[in-house]
Amino acid sequence: MPRSAYERSKGVEIVTWREFPLGKGIALAILDEATAAGRQLKGQHLLDVLDEAAGLPPCKLTVADRPQRHRTRGGRLELKTYGYYRIAWESAPQRGTIRIYNLTAIRQQVLAPKVFLETLLHEWVHHYDFTGLQLDRSPHTSGFFARIRDLAETLGVGFVTPPKRDVAPTAMAADDVEIARPDALRPGGVPPPQWIRDQVLSLFGHRRS
């Protein structure tokens, strides 16, 4: 991962708006939804408001009514993915998509409303990084999480975000971003790039098999 992208991500702590996003009511309404269809409808409405207010290209949301992708070791949950962001890259980043799983990994219960909304904001900040900040990577830096908190506070839902943190939580898969380029399509399931493997190693302190 180019160091410039990491440093730029770390140094930006707020989202810059072209016009103020009038999405507080939509964000609060999302907290009242539990079905995948309802969350997808209202979640897409919020994304449309955010994209327009920030002057970004559209971002499509899919809420899958299925358990989170996960990995176990010795019968215990080791890693799970709440959702992921995918960007199609041609001459410039475009056609961003977000996918969120509506059921928990093991118990297959409906994802808690606050967790769903924070995941949605988390993935949209990846969209902002690529299409707004024009980064070629969107790492989980302290600045990245500051932008999530700033976004949540702008929407009046700061209570959904966790305490300040400098790295990705262990429960969130490190490879929640996929970049699709015409000359190098990365479908799901391929090994993550080296910089992600290095990040995982630094987080957990040992190599994964």
Amino acid at residue number 52: E
Per-residue model confidence (pLDDT) at position 47: 98
Q: What is the mean pLDDT of each run of 10 residues along the chain (209 residues)?
A: 82 97 97 98 98 96 91 71 86 82 92 97 96 93 96 97 60 61 42 51 47
pTM of the complete model:
0.80
* Contacts with 173 (C-beta within 8 Å, 6 or more apart), sequence order: 69, 79, 80, 81, 82, 84
| CA 183, chain centre distance (Å) | 24
- Which sequence spans correspond to the domains of the chain? 3-200
Q: pLDDT, tens digit, for every residue of 52-68?
A: 999 999 999 999 999 98
Q: What angle do CA 155, 123, 2 make, to 5 degrees?
A: 120
Per-residue model confidence (pLDDT) at position 92: 64
